[in-house]
Structure 1
Amino acid sequence: MSKAIYEWRQIPNGPRLAVATLEDSECAALSIYIPAGSRDELNLPAGLAHFVEHMVFKGTERRSARDLSFEIENAGGQINACTSEDQTVYEGRGEADLMPVLADVLSDMVWHATFPASEIGLEREVIGEEITMYKESPADHIGDLISSALWDGHPLGNSISGSLETIAKIDRETLMEFRNRHHFRSDVVIAAAGPFTVEQIMEMISPHLPGNFHAGERALEFDRTTAAQRIVIDERETDQLQLALAWHTPGRHAESRHALRMLSMMLGETASSRLFLELREERGLCYQISSDVTFFDETGAFEVSAGLDPESRDEALACIYREIGDLVANGPKPGELDRAKRLTIAQSKLSFESTGSHAAWAGEGVLDFGRVPSPAEWRASVMAVTDAEVQAIAREVFDGKEPSMAEIGEGKSLPQSRKGR
């Protein structure tokens, strides 16, 4: 994969366009980023943004649901979509010659879906099955539980798919109002990657853009300074205990974000991380344990999750707290941060072997930061992180902070404090 040239511009009276030009690429990727997701469901039924995403595939004035998929797949391409807390993404992939078709079909779906009434009930059943599937899989459902605990009372804590009760309240009018409010925002980002210049992509996409876009609206902000610890327990008969802990962090614009990523890499993201080595390799307490950090505009989350034998629960918690306490008190061990940096940079370079990753880099850069940072700039920021910065953010996130917790299992009460551990 050749190096990309990244450019972006605000389309007059329209959305933003971000393009990664890959001169030698035989493939193309096109994505439309809607800057709204489940966190935008304040005073609305949970799962609404996700329901809209599903219904966009159910037909337009020009194409049936079958036509939408067949037109792309008959030409060897793919279309897909996903919804998160703060964005909804519609994406298409294929050979480079398919880009004009991707531009036409994705635009038709995103801005001209008709939300046929006959399909809404059917799709409600499909989403209901999706909700049930995840709820019956403890390893998946634990994510919803820890979110509800960490973001208690805020839409960030909603299950992205909603619940059987909330999706039952969603009708055609509600779906179309949400679509009209968020899909026609001027802060929408169209991201493309392939052997095309920004001018060529503009020429392909412009005929398919709606005539009017409006200013976007900010979702309800979360004040992490007033957040309280919360514990959620789902009592059920399981052979394996699912456990998750979460702490609030600064958001994606904080200078500490790179140090936070290194902290997570060292603590639990790899086979050489502290938690994996200590809990799985040294003690055999679990098969799976990991950490992760998630960023939103004004806030974020640091999570640790594990699947383990219920009898190992207390020992596992003690080990987790001990490793976190060591990072708070002493910072990284010699060579630990350097290894985390090398792994992070290598993962970044590997990801850029796909055209879709270049489109995502361009689109998310403009969506989240209002520009496309070069990968070299980002890697330099990672390499500049120091041991002292990692220890400082560990103290800010963990020191004296009780985590929110979620547990799926036989129902033992989680400890209210980690003091003395």
Structure 2
Amino acid sequence: MFKKEYLDNKIPVLLERIKGVRSVCLGIWVKVGSRYETKQKNGISHFLEHMLFKGTKRRSQKEIAVEIDSLGGDLNAYTSKETTTFYIKLLDDYLEKGTDLLMDIFLHSRLPEDEIEKEKGIVIEEIKMVEDTPDDYIHDLFSEYVWNREDIGLGILGTKKTVRSFTKKDLVEHIRKHYTISNTVISCAGNIEHEEVLKWLNSSIGKISNDSQPHTYSKPKFHHGTKVVTKDCAEVHLCIGTEGIAQGSPERYAMLLMNTVIGAGVSSRLFQEIREQRGLAYSVYSYTSSYHDCGLFGVYVGTGRKKYQQVIDIVRDELVTFKDTVSEDELTRAKKQLKGNLVLALESTSGRMNNLARQEIYYGKYISPSEIMKAIDGVRFSEVRELSDRLFTDRKFALTVLGPVKNALI
């Protein structure tokens, strides 16, 4: 059973009681991520996310770690382009203790200077690890290129230079500016009693009073063209894509279905053609990334240095001719696949918690699984063709290549 409530200070709380489970997942979502940073302070949202686990007025870093392990739970956080999320997942018997722990790190972290210096080294190692993982790194390079390394194009981790520059004053100012009533959404799913959860939240985060103005958006410009980053890798990694659609677009279900047919799953066109039929790659898939006011459709392939241009040609031709070759049978199968994926993703309490918060942030309302499945079934064949025609037919693609090569053509 879903319910939307507001705390005493008007922070929205999304609650879903799920019968038959013993776990609960509680999350705090802050509407700030790398797109709201400056180039000079790029990565500060992610860095602060790390720092909130480094000790509070009541608990040391180790005491936080020991307590969550003793509860048999998971206390974690992650940063994206537009949000920062802190969550705890544990047995329903321990929800009150878990709520106290989560609220303590969120509201009362000390941000000790010595830990800030230590964490800089840890995050720099994280940056280097991504740079040494080419199938991850290519996505950062692609995003930076197509969005001109500003706004959505700023990397989540930041750079080694920006991370080294962070001070406690920077972190405190980031909290003051962004960790506010208007920027916060709380979601909770599992075996819960709504009134109990609200009581615990009102006694902690429900008492904060700092607020801010909502973010303003200036739609970033998508950059077409080719960027080649030469690096000594065993494979050539490439991303090909074009401008997509915003998260709240009425075409979002048509986009998901198109993506499913093109490259989401082992029966998809690109997987079958590039991997199964031609043996040109091990990893190949398409994906969508959607934000408040813009989006991206992309294809990733990891292949050999003698095969990468052939792979680029196959992907380009598949996209350009899609509107004329897609069939109604493919669309019917894609609908079944997409609906099945949706149900499986919502089987866990953490999946439900994430879904509740994202819907509130991007749509301002709850959309039930049955409503989503009805919307998927309602997508017409002509809508998918028209969307692919608009995105692909003019051949305005962007291409980023990472590996032991010096040039590429799209």
SS of aligned partner of 1:168: helix
Q: Does 1:396 align with 2:359?
A: no
- CA change 1:367–1:334 in 2 (3 A) is closer
Q: Which residue does 2:375 correspond to in 1?
A: 381
Q: Does 1:301 align with 2:311?
A: no
1:261 aligns with 2:293: no
The Cα offsets for residues 198-249 of structure 1, whole Å up to 9 and x where unpaired, read as 322101211111431313431542244xx33143322112221000112111
Q: Conserved in 2, the CA contact under 8 Å of 1:290 and 1:305?
A: yes
On the 8 A contact 2:56/2:105 being kept in 1, the answer is: yes
TM-score, normalized by length of structure 1? Answer: 0.94
Structure-2 separation of matches of 1:100 and 1:277: 49
Asked if the contact 2:305/2:405 (under 8 Å) is kept, the reply is no
Q: Distance in 2 between matches of 1:232 and 1:179?
A: 36
Code of the aligned partner of 1:26: R
Contact 1:72–1:101 at 8 Å: present in 2 too?
no
Letter in 1 for 2:117: G
Secondary structure of the residue aligned to 1:104 is helix
- Contact 1:29 1:192 (C-alpha < 8 Å) held by counterparts: yes
Secondary structure of 1:222 counterpart:
coil
Q: 1:221 to 1:102 in 2, by over 3 A?
A: farther
Show the counterpart of 2:354.
Answer: 360
Is 2:204 the partner of 1:218? no
1:238-271 Cα shifts (integer Å, max 9, x gaps): 2210001121112011111110011111100110
Aligned partners of 1:40 and 1:220 also within 8 Å: no
Distance 1:318 1:184, change over 3 A: same
User: SS of the counterpart of 2:15?
Assistant: strand
Measured after TM superposition, the shift of residue 98 of structure 1 is 1.4
Q: Identity rate of aligned residues, in percent?
A: 25
For residue 294 of structure 1, give the secondary structure of its aligned residue in structure 2: strand
1:327 aligns with 2:322: yes
How many Å separate the matches in 2 of 1:142 and 1:172?
A: 32
Q: How many residues align?
A: 409
What do residues 63-113 of structure 1 show as CA deviations (whole Å, max 9, x unaligned)?
A: 111122222211111101100000111111110011111211111111221
Q: Which whole-Å CA distance do the structure 2 matches of 1:301 and 1:14 have between them? A: 34
AA paired with 1:129? E
Contact 2:281 2:302 in 1 (8 A): yes
- Aligned 8 A contact 1:18 1:198 in 2: no
Kindly tell me: are residues 410 and 254 of structure 1, through their superposed partners in 2, closer, same or farther at Cα, counting changes over 3 Å?
same
1:313 maps to which of 308, 314, 325? 308
The unaligned stretches of length 5 or more in structure 1 are none
Change (3 A) 1:289 1:369: same
Aligned counterpart, 2:408:
414
Deviation at 1:44, TM superposition (A): 4.0
Q: Deviations over 1:47-70 (max 9, x none)?
A: 111001000101111111112222
354-363 vs 123-132, which deviates more?
354-363
Partner of 1:36: 32
- Alpha-carbon distance in 2 for matches of 1:19, 1:213: 24
Kindly report the root-mean-square deviation, in angstroms, between the aligned alpha carbons of the 2 structures.
1.5
Change (3 A) 1:66 1:201: same
Indicate which of 263, 274, 278 corresponds to 1:279. 274
CA distance in 2, matches of 1:238, 1:211: 50
